[in-house]
């Protein structure tokens, strides 16, 4: 059967550097229990994945197959993931005094959030390597994306979400055929339930950064951004950070692209945005710490940001610092306010997480941290349509 152009060579522990043969199902590093990262023969990848050849490739994240892990064509699960539009939001930018404001609209992904990128890759690869049942702890969107790709592969999915997760997320998972369990607690408590199922039934755990391939799916945001900006990365990227897969993934993508000769050494300043009700990464950044402690009593309307502890914390913090970036909080009220600003001035109806990036941009402009002529990319990580429960209160 046909092989992909993947140049995957091995997996490497992000903490201790231990190497692993890639073609078997793995979660964390056996030595230090930290994330494994996929490594490629980038010299070989650069021979076929050229700027020229990319022009005629399929309009999905699979266009970057040389730097993706899937080995066999039959294992690539395709539901239309990735290759989302990058909009120059002129009216919005002018209204806040930063005319080069762009929005990468991830709300157009399968199941209406960028979680589709990570789960497309993790489920394709787990399917290829023979996983029989998949399980995930999720604040909402990841569970929906897993449900969709597991259905496409024909694998059972077990999803664990906090019991106060909005109804729509539960319904979507259920209708996509997943086994839904609601947990009295937060995403980390859901993680405990998943580990019980892994031990008892041999499920494969696709928690963020606890298997090596979700980050490979999410890194395609970095490749797309470069390609859509004609290989000239922006000055600033503002990203709503929960588990941090997107931050870690994009930072990895930039490094790979430089090694492939697609971009130079200039990097965007990476900005992490969290809610003032759950900001473990911001706190660790401000303290100059390498790791983030668990955030007690996490509470925010932005479900994707309700992540009190992240296993990839040190990788997120490293990306922010190496890039000369910053980590900031915004309030839930600001998210609701700026959702309408973004919507009415750009035509994009954002998730509260997406609105958080605009709130952060306005603060950073006011502080002079962003200059008015800089090129700024906001990540709208999901569609506002999934948050009807929030907006319903706002229509008066
Ligand atoms: C999961 C999620 C986030 C956080 O993403 P990470 O890459 O895990 O940090 C942000 N926004 C939305 C809508 C999400 O679902």
| Domain chopping of the chain, boundaries | 86-110+216-392
Q: Above pLDDT 70, what percent of the chain?
A: 99
- The residue contributing the CA closest to ligand 1 atom 10 is 304
> What are the pLDDT digits (tens) for 205-257?
999 889 999 999 999 999 999 999 999 999 999 999 999 999 999 999 999 99
Sheet holding 8-13, edge to edge: 19-20, 8-13, 36-40
Lowest mean pLDDT among 186-195, 225-234, 276-285: 186-195
pLDDT, position 396 = 59
Helix, strand, coil % over all residues of the chain, rounded to 5: 45, 15, 40
pLDDT, position 88 = 98
Average pLDDT score, the chain: 96
For 297-311, b/e burial (b = at least 16 CB within 10 A) is ebebbbbbbbbbbbb
Collect all residues with Cβ–Cβ distance below 8 Å to 220 and sequence separation of at least 6: 61, 64, 68, 82, 117, 249, 253
Q: Which residues have C-beta atoms less than 6 Å from ligand 1?
A: 113, 115, 141, 208, 240-246, 304, 351, 353, 381-382
Looking at domain 86-110+216-392, its CATH architecture is 3-Layer(aba) Sandwich (3.40)
Q: What is the mean pLDDT of residues 330-342?
A: 97
Q: What is the mean pLDDT of residues 283-296?
A: 96
* Sign, Cα dihedral of 181, 182, 188, 192: negative
Which of 305, 357, 360, 390 has the most ligand 1 atoms within 8 A of CB, as the residue to mutate? 305
Distance 207 CA to ligand 1 centre (A): 13
Q: What is the mean pLDDT of residues 28-43?
A: 96
1 has pLDDT over 90: no
Listing DSSP states for 207-253 in one string gives -TTTSSSHHHHHTHHHHHHHHHTTT---SEEEEE-SS-HHHHHHHHH
* Closest-lying ligand 1 atom to the alpha carbon of residue 246: 7
Please state the pTM of the whole predicted model. Answer: 0.96
Collect all residues with Cβ–Cβ distance below 8 Å to 216 and sequence separation of at least 6: 38, 67, 68, 69, 121, 249
């Amino acid at each position: 059967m046909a092989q992909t152009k993947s140049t995957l060579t091995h997996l490497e522990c992000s903490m201790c550097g231990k190497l692993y043969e890639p073609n078997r199902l793995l979660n964390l590093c056996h030595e230090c229990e930290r994330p494994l990262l996929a490594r490629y023969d980038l010299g070989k990848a650069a021979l076929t994945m050229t700027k020229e050849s990319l022009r005629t490739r399929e309009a999905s994240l699979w266009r970057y197959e040389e730097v993706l892990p899937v080995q066999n064509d039959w294992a690539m699960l395709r539901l239309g993931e990735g290759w989302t539009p990058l909009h120059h939001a002129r009216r919005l930018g002018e209204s806040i005094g930063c005319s080069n404001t762009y929005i990468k609209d991830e709300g157009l992904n399968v199941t209406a959030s960028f979680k589709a990128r990570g789960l497309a890759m993790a489920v394709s690869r787990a399917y290829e390597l023979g996983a029989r049942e998949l399980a995930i702890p999720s604040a909402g969107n990841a569970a929906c994306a897993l449900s969709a790709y597991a259905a496409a592969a024909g694998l059972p999915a077990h999803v664990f979400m906090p019991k106060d997760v909005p109804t729509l997320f539960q319904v979507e998972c259920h209708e996509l055929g997943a086994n839904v369990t609601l947990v009295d607690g937060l995403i980390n408590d859901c993680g405990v339930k998943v580990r019980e199922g892994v031990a008892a039934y041999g499920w494969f755990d696709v928690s963020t950064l606890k298997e090596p391939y979700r980050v490979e799916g999410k890194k395609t945001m970095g490749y797309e951004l470069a390609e859509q900006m004609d290989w000239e990365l922006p000055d600033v990227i503002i990203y709503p950070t929960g588990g941090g897969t997107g931050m870690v993934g994009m930072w990895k993508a930039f490094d790979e692209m430089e090694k492939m000769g697609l971009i130079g050494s200039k990097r965007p300043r990476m900005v992490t945005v969290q809610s003032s009700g759950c900001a473990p990464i911001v706190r660790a950044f401000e303290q100059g710490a390498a790791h983030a402690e668990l955030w007690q009593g996490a509470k925010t309307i932005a479900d994707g940001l309700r992540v009190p502890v992240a296993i990839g914390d040190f990788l997120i913090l490293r990306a922010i610092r190496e890039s000369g970036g910053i980590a900031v909080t915004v309030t839930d009220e600001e998210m609701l306010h700026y959702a309408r600003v973004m919507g009415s001035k750009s035509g994009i109806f954002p998730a509260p997480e997406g609105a958080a990036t605009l709130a952060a941009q306005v603060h950073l402009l006011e502080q002079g941290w962003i200059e008015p002529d800089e090129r700024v990319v906001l990540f709208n990580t999901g569609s506002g349509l999934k948050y009807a429960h929030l907006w319903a209160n706002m229509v008066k």
